């Protein structure tokens, strides 16, 4: 074996006394985690923390089901991603503004027979970050897909939340899930049923705590949720602004492929054409304002800016700050 091959090993027995990375159990939760799962920053006076819920292995055609398979395969290869399935990151955000502690989305929670054991870590990771569920005053939901609400359905979570907790969601989103239309989605088998069941259960358990908004609502000073539609009819993004700085949590308006290929339809989009319009508008806006972007399924810590690149966009991750 050549020297280069030796140093490039990513798995297998220890080399030169250094254990290979797979010996560290990177999926493990708690203070002994060796892959960071939280990233904190300040937006003016507001504290923001991106927290990883884990990863979801999903088929690559979900990234662009209207794309030419050869072009899609080429994009995956150029990104050094495997051709058939890869791990979608899954992030949530905690915001502290004034007296309010606000959770933006709630992760996957328990895996309902879909074999997604490496997601659903949010609750443990909040605890590891010293964020007690009883401190959360508000939860803002970008939409009611299970990877954004499931964490609230984990056993014991509801009991630990404050009785006066307010959950914010677009009125159209709540309405949509009473009789959801999946006719334009292209999800893997089992997902539509799981999404329906989870949203239904969520509305049963938490319906009386939901405060709906039509188009826009200021949840806390500098924290504004705005309905975009597209991904789901009531899909919303949250803009955090303070002291001349701003960050948008875009939920599922943008996926990793969306910068190079904003027109590619994601399999989870209930109105793919509208979702593409929403994506392009948002990316244009962020490129113009140079404001920060975090999105649910961008690689952790999912924090960066958007640049224009010809007739598409370019993702520019921030340099980590300590
Ligand atoms: Zn999602």
What CATH number is associated with residue 131? Answer: 3.60.15.10
Task: At 83, give phi and psi (nearest 5°).
Answer: -70, -30
- The pair of structure tokens assigned to 32 is 């002994």
Domain assignment present for residue 266? The answer is yes
- The pair of structure tokens assigned to 93 is 């955000």
Domain assignment present for residue 225? The answer is yes
Q: Residue 289 and residue 29: Cα distance in Å, rounded?
A: 36
Distance 250 CA to ligand 1 centre (A): 10
Domain assignment present for residue 322? The answer is no
**Domain that includes residue 157, residue range:** 3-317
The pLDDT value recorded for residue 31 is 61
Distance 199 CA to ligand 1 centre (A): 13
User: Model-level pTM greater than 0.85?
Assistant: yes
- The pair of structure tokens assigned to 167 is 């959950």
Domain assignment present for residue 137? The answer is yes
Task: At 315, give phi and psi (nearest 5°).
Answer: -90, 125
DSSP 196-237: HHHHHHHHHHHGGGEEEESSEEEEETTEEEEE--SSSTT-EE
The pLDDT value recorded for residue 35 is 87
- DSSP annotation of 15 reads B
Q: Enumerate the β-bridge partners of residue 138.
A: 102, 166
Domain assignment present for residue 151? The answer is yes
The pLDDT value recorded for residue 37 is 93
- DSSP annotation of 246 reads E
Regions of the chain short of the pLDDT cut 70 = 1-31, 111-113
Distance 252 CA to ligand 1 centre (A): 5
Distance 145 CA to ligand 1 centre (A): 6
Domain assignment present for residue 263? The answer is yes
Domain assignment present for residue 17? The answer is yes
Distance 149 CA to ligand 1 centre (A): 10
Domain assignment present for residue 182? The answer is yes
The pLDDT value recorded for residue 20 is 45
- The pair of structure tokens assigned to 49 is 């923390």
Query: Are 93 and 296 spatial neighbours (Cβ–Cβ below 8 Å)?
Result: no
Distance 65 CA to ligand 1 centre (A): 16
Q: Is 113 exposed, middle or buried (0-12, 13-18, 19+ CB in 10 A)?
A: exposed
Q: How many domains does the chain have?
A: 1
Distance 78 CA to ligand 1 centre (A): 24
Distance 147 CA to ligand 1 centre (A): 5
């Amino acid at each position: 074996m050549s020297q280069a091959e030796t140093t490039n090993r990513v798995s297998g027995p220890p080399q030169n006394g250094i254990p290979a990375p797979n010996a560290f159990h990177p999926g493990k939760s708690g203070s002994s985690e060796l892959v960071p799962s939280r990233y904190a920053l300040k937006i003016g006076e507001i504290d923001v923390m991106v927290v990883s819920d884990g990863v979801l292995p999903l088929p690559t055609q979900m990234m662009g089901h209207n794309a030419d398979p050869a072009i899609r395969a080429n994009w995956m290869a150029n990104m050094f991603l495997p051709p058939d399935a890869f791990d979608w990151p899954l992030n949530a955000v905690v915001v502290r503004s004034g007296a309010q502690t606000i959770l933006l989305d709630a992760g996957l929670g328990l895996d309902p027979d879909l074999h997604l054991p490496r997601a659903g870590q949010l609750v443990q990771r909040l605890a590891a970050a010293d964020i007690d569920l009883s401190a959360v005053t508000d939860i803002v939901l970008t939409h009611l897909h299970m990877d954004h609400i499931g964490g609230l359905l984990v056993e014991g979570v509801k009991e630990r939340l404050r009785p006066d907790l307010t959950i914010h969601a677009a009125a159209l989103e709540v309405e949509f899930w009473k009789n959801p239309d999946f006719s334009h989605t292209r999800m893997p088998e089992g997902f539509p049923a799981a999404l329906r069941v989870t949203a239904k259960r969520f509305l049963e358990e938490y319906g009386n705590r939901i405060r709906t908004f039509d188009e826009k609502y200021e949840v806390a000073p500098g924290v504004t949720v705005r309905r975009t539609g597209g991904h789901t009819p009531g899909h919303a993004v949250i803009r955090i602004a303070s002291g001349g700085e701003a960050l948008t949590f875009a939920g599922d308006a943008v996926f990793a492929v969306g910068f190079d290929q904003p027109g590619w339809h994601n399999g989870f989009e209930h109105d793919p054409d509208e979702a593409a319009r929403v994506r392009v508008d948002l990316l244009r806006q962020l490129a113009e304002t140079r404001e920060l972007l975090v999105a649910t399924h961008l690689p952790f810590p999912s924090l960066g800016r958007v640049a224009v690149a010809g007739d598409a966009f370019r993702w520019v991750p921030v340099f980590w700050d300590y």
